[in-house]
Amino acid sequence: MTTSFETVRVAAVHAAAPFLNLEAGVRRAVEFIHEAAAGGARLVAFPETFLPGYPYWIWSHTTKYAAPFFAELYRNAIELPSPQSDAIAAAAREAGVWVSLGVNERDGGTLYNTMAWYSPEGRLVAKHRKLHPTNAERTVWGQGDGRDLFVVDTGFARVGGLICFEHTMSLARHALTAMGEQIHVASWPAINATHADPNAGDFNHYSTTLAAAHAICAQTYVIVVQGRISEEMVERLAVPAGPDAPTVGGGISGFMGPNGKWLAEPHRDTEAVIFADLDLSMIAFAKYFADGAGHYDRPDVFRFDLDRTPHTTLPESTVQQGVIRAASASTKVV
């Protein structure tokens, strides 16, 4: 692999899009992309399911009262490709930046929690679907498969990413390490909504601890990018006041070095685009101590492979053969 030793400016968007409104959310994402580029970023990362928002109701509403929210999410989920996706790609091209965008992706009858990657040339180059939705998230999203583990060679670094509790999947993280990841995007939702553990306290310790572990184990920079809960979300969810009610703000975003330490104090709560300059030459010092996919690996002891076979109900070619087009169908009824 080609190793880069330059310093790269990156950005993280700590924000919420208009809730369950795809068109308005795309316009907001375009604004953030241009703001990040104006600040000198070559890569801008958005939180988990920025478009059109994270389904916070799964932690607070019963199935009966969650159903209308899901229907609204389904209508406002993005298809890849689509005119809305093309608008993001065009913004990446105009701004000249790489974009990692968290979306609710609609494919057929299923939604996926997806990290979409756009190039400065204005192309959707890859998409990572969350391999396994976490707990109640399984009522909303389907699963990804082996195609969803990859790194993107941007020319200045190999960049990869995982979503939320995927960071507890050690083999997924190791796969990215073995692919030579140098910058890692760790995307999360705002973490001040309801959750199952009443003793969890500041839930942000999950994201920060897991980010630090990956930085150290993979010898990579980590962009921690979390969303925030807006006033609109609080009003729409209408959870009664009390310990289970989400509050405005939430989450932290920031940048960690290969030593697992914050490069600067992370940002909390308020909407912001934040920046960091990542000196990629520092990765060599971490690799010198322990290269997780090199001299500190033991492939003779541990066997690991990645199955990239698509997991589909039917092969796409079979699906297309089974669809009768009205324009080509015979008018003769047998």
CA distance 152 to 156: 10
Q: Which of 35, 48, 232, 235 is catalytic?
A: 48
Q: Whole-angstrom Cα distance, residue 206 to residue 189?
A: 12
User: Residues 61, 64, 70, CA angle at the centre, nearest 5°?
Assistant: 75
Q: Is the preceding peptide bond at 52 cis, omega within 30 degrees of 0?
A: yes
Under a CB-based contact definition with an 8 Å cutoff, are residues 161 and 187 in contact?
yes
Three-class secondary structure assignment of the chain: CCCCCCEEEEEEEECCCCCCCHHHHHHHHHHHHHHHHHCCCCEEECCCCCECCCCHHHHCCCHHHHHHHHHHHHHHCECCCCHHHHHHHHHHHHHCCEEEEEEEEEECCEEEEEEEEECCCCCEEEEEECCCCCHHHHHCECCCCHHHCCCEECCCCEEEEEEHHHHHCHHHHHHHHHCCCCEEEEEECCCCCCCCCCCCCCCHHHHHHHHHHHHHHHCCEEEEEECCECHHHHHHHCCCCCCCCCCCECCEEEEECCCCCECCCCEECCCEEEEEEEEHHHHHHHHHHCCCCCCCCCCCCCCCCCCCCCCCCCCHHHHHHHCCCCCCCCCCCC
Tell me whether residue 48 is one of the annotated catalytic residues: yes
Q: What amino acid positions are annotated as catalytic residues?
A: 48
